[in-house]
Chain A
Amino acid sequence: MTLAAAIRSGDVTLLPGKRDEDWRWTDLRGLLRTLPGPSDEETAPLAPGPFGALGDSEIAIVNGRIRDGAASLTVGAGKRCVVRLRFVATSSESRHEARMTINVHAGAELTLLESHEGQAHGYVTAATLDLRLADGARMERIVVAEDGEGAVNVACASAVLAPNSKFAQTILTDGARRQRLETCLDHPGGGAEVRLDGIYVLKGQRHADLTTVVEHAGPDGSTLQLTKGVVDGQARGVFQGRIVVAEGADRTDARMGHHALILSERAEVDAKPELEIYADDVACGHGNTVGALDAEALFYARQRGMPEPVARALLTEAFLGEVVDRIGHEGAREAARAWVARRLEAAA
């Protein structure tokens, strides 16, 4: 039951819907009674994406077709590189899916600047990423999702980590008609470290679902997770975070935070943080808050001369800034900061 399978076959009965527990807030079956036809091939050159010219090379997947390259990327042992991975949709009212496999060998380091770019209306797309990190490998994945308001997009990344590897991720999205950005990690423990962050800034009738599943299979692993969202209008933000600490995965350090600001009465945030712990001697915790901006801080800023919209924008940007600050790659961090600032201006 996946969108990718439905896109391949054209069979809408394969779509996940609200009867599936993990999809109850991101119902695709109820939304899509029929699927549009396959997307056309696009041959025109692409304008720069949200990461501009950052990094060493670019892989573009346009309407589900990989340009100039293979559906896999390997970073050899000890190598370091920064790669832009762009999923671009240019074909309106159509469907396509894409797959990508990435291997980061022992001691290698990859910064993946991934974007989902909607340059068309009403498309339905699915992207599947298989990530493998060998012993001591490092990967930082920064995802910017800019789907159109009429788009449906499900992007699933599955990562298998080896001991001593480091995987860090920050997703930034402004939502779509319906959108799910899912990350599933096999965490072996053994000194491997994970950071899983996210930001959603939603307005109008947009929807974004950030779902993560981390399975700690062995001892001595850590997962730090921080997701923050701002929803306005009639938008809906969904956060589902599950961390499973298997029997024997002792001394796991897992912390999950999800905090959202609701700026309008008709906006909605649904959150399901879950910790399932079957091991002993673990340090696990989660925090979840949904609310409005702090009225006292708002008054303080206004007393110093900031008109209300200026004060709100400053405090909201600061609220999301905590997540942006955790991005390791400096260029990507500044691109993310600018992206957030633009989204908040658009929301005001």
Chain B
Amino acid sequence: MLRIQNLHADVGGKEILKGLDLVLPAGEVHAIMGPNGAGKSTLSYVLTGRDGYEVTAGSASLDGEDLLALAPDERAARGVFLSFQYPLEIPGVPALTFIRTALNAQRRARGEPEANAPEFLKLARAAAGSLKIDFEMLKRALNVGFSGGEKKRMEILQMAMLKPRLLILDETDSGLDIDALKIVADGVNALRSPDRAMLVITHYQRLLDYIKPDRVHVLAHGRIAASGGPELALELEREGYDKYARAA
């Protein structure tokens, strides 16, 4: 599904990604682990097209289509979803309004009929229920005054409603206590399916106890330094990233 080849990217004139290769097949969950500053968040922003993240070489494609040539909203319409490490507060826009605007924009872009109000509310109630989010909260301005855990749950709720195909979770476990982590992980696991792929970006192994990866990659100095099965995450937990930090 996702194929990244020799990806180089600059942020503010500094090279952060230095020849990253990655293949993520449909139906699989891959974890990207690495020390702070390795380029984990940069990878998520490059894949979603944020301004200021300049690709200088290499390619990234989704089902064979050049992802890097598309605007952020076009990537979203093709099913790319980034769960932000720090979800934005959107004053004045009720969560329901925000999500409905996003959902219908995606549907328009794909030539699908827009969700009418009853259909949309039904979707929202179901998603809120499974994530233990009080429906009244969706009437409030998105993320404004929400706790860290609530913000992450709102990200998963949007994910559940927008039904993306490529899910990128950037440090989704940060700021979560164990109960919130379980709810979020359950929400993510419910979205696992043979036609979806997930990239789970995390510094700590903890999240991977709840979202089991098929493959684990170590990102260090802007490229994949090692890849392996789930046991690699446990090894990193025991031994730390020193080996990879030194290797460069």
B-contacting residues of A (Cβ < 8 Å)?
A: 295-297, 299-308, 310-311, 314-315, 317-319, 321-322
A310-B92 in contact (CB<8A)? no
When chains A and B are docked, how far (Å) is the Cα of A318 from the Cα of B51?
23
Do most interface residues of chain A lie in helix, strand or loop, or is the interface mixed? helix
Chain B residues with Cβ below 8 Å from A305 are 73, 76-77, 102-103, 105-106, 109, 162
Q: Between A and B, how many residue pairs show CB distances below 8 Å? A: 77
Do most interface residues of chain B lie in helix, strand or loop, or is the interface mixed? helix
Given contacts A300-B84, A304-B158, A305-B106, 20 further A-B contacts (CB under 8 A): A296-B88, A301-B90, A301-B101, A302-B49, A302-B72, A302-B76, A303-B48, A303-B72, A304-B76, A304-B99, A305-B73, A305-B103, A305-B162, A306-B73, A306-B102, A306-B105, A311-B73, A314-B101, A319-B91, A322-B92
Chain B residues with Cβ below 8 Å from A311 are 73
A302-B91 in contact (CB<8A)? no
Task: Output the nearest chain B residue to A296 by Cβ-Cβ distance.
Answer: B88
B105-A310 in contact (CB<8A)? yes
A306-B51 in contact (CB<8A)? no
Interface centre among B48, B76, B91, B92 (most CB of A within 10 A): B92
Chain B residues with Cβ below 8 Å from A310 are 101, 105
The residue that A304 contacts in the complex, of B50, B97, B98, with Cβ under 8 A, is B98
- List of 5 A-B pairs having minimum Cβ-Cβ separation, nearest first: A318-B92, A304-B102, A305-B76, A305-B106, A302-B72
The residue that A321 contacts in the complex, of B71, B77, B81, B92, with Cβ under 8 A, is B92
Number of B residues, CB within 8 Å of A: 31
Chain A residues with Cβ below 8 Å from B101 are 301, 306, 310, 314
A318-B90 in contact (CB<8A)? yes
Chain A residues with Cβ below 8 Å from B82 are 303
Can you list 22 A-B contacts (CB < 8 A)?
A: A296-B88, A299-B72, A300-B84, A300-B87, A301-B102, A302-B71, A302-B73, A303-B72, A303-B75, A303-B76, A305-B76, A305-B77, A305-B102, A305-B103, A305-B109, A307-B73, A308-B73, A310-B101, A311-B73, A315-B93, A318-B93, A318-B141
Task: Output the nearest chain A residue to B80 by Cβ-Cβ distance.
Answer: A303
The residue that B88 contacts in the complex, of A300, A307, A314, A322, with Cβ under 8 A, is A300
Chain A residues with Cβ below 8 Å from B99 are 304
